[in-house]
Amino acid sequence: MQRRNFLKTGGLAAGSILTSGMSMNTSAMKKNVGDKPFNLDYAFHSGMFASHAGADFIDQIKFGHEKGFRSIEDNGMMARSPAEQERIGRTLSDLGMKMGVFVVTTDSWHWKTSLATGKQEWKDRIVRDCKTAVDVAKRCGAKWVTVVPGNFDRSLHLDMQTANVIDALRMGAEVLEPHGLVMVLEPLSDNPDLFLRYSTQTYMICRAVNSPSCKILFDMYHMQRNEGDVIRNIDRTWDEIGYFQIGDNPGRKEPTTGEMNYKNIFKHIHKKGFKGIMGMEHGNATPGKEGEMALVKAYRDSDAFL
Q: Does residue 196 surpass a pLDDT of 70?
A: yes
Residue 107 CB neighbour total at 10 angstroms: 11
CA 120 from chain center: how many Å? 31
Q: Does residue 67 surpass a pLDDT of 80?
A: yes
What's the DSSP call for residue 78? G
Three-class secondary structure assignment of 209-275: HCCCCEEEEEEHHHHHHHCCCHHHHHHHCHHHEEEEECCCCCCCCCCCCCCCCHHHHHHHHHHCCCC
Three-class secondary structure assignment of 159-203: HHHHHHHHHHHHHHHHHHHHHCCEEEECCCCCCCCECCCCHHHHH
Q: Does residue 118 surpass a pLDDT of 80?
A: yes
- Average pLDDT value over all residues in the chain: 90
**Quick one: CA torsion of 137, 138, 140, 141, rounded to 10 degrees?**
90
Give 23's pLDDT tier (boundaries 50, 70, 90): very low
| pLDDT > 70: percent of the chain | 87
What is the predicted pLDDT for the residue at 110?
53
pLDDT in tens, 221-241: 999 999 999 999 999 999 999
Rg (CA), the chain: 24
Question: Are 195 and 228 spatial neighbours (Cβ–Cβ below 8 Å)?
Answer: no
Q: Does residue 66 surpass a pLDDT of 50?
A: yes
What is the predicted pLDDT for the residue at 106?
62
CA 177 from chain center: how many Å? 20
Average pLDDT over residues 50-54: 98
What is the predicted pLDDT for the residue at 33?
54
* Residue 195, C-beta contacts closer than 8 angstroms, at least 6 positions apart: 115, 116, 149, 150, 151, 152, 161, 165
What's the DSSP call for residue 142? B
pLDDT in tens, 243-297: 999 999 999 999 999 999 999 999 999 999 999 999 999 999 999 999 999 999 9
Cα–Cα dist 200/241, whole Å = 11
Average pLDDT over residues 37-50: 98
| CA angle at 200 for the pair 198 and 233, rounded to the nearest 5° | 90
Give 34's pLDDT tier (boundaries 50, 70, 90): confident
> Per DSSP, what are the bridge partners of residue 182?
144
pLDDT in tens, 135-188: 999 999 999 999 999 999 999 999 999 999 999 999 999 999 999 999 999 999
Question: Are 149 and 195 spatial neighbours (Cβ–Cβ below 8 Å)?
Answer: yes
Long-range contacts at 236-242 (CB < 8 A, ≥ 24 apart): 236/199, 236/200, 236/203, 237/199, 237/200, 237/202, 237/203, 238/272, 240/202, 240/203, 240/206, 240/207, 240/215, 240/216, 241/215, 241/216, 242/144, 242/182, 242/184, 242/215, 242/216, 242/217, 242/276
What is the predicted pLDDT for the residue at 105?
82
| pLDDT > 90: percent of the chain | 85
Return the amino acid letter for 9: T
Q: Does residue 205 surpass a pLDDT of 80?
A: yes
What's the DSSP call for residue 113? B
Cα–Cα dist 152/183, whole Å = 20
Question: Are 121 and 95 spatial neighbours (Cβ–Cβ below 8 Å)?
Answer: no
Of 231, 236, 179, the closest CA to residue 207 belongs to 236
Average pLDDT over residues 186-193: 94
DSSP for 7-26?
HHHHHHHHHHHHHHHHHHHH
Average pLDDT over residues 121-137: 96
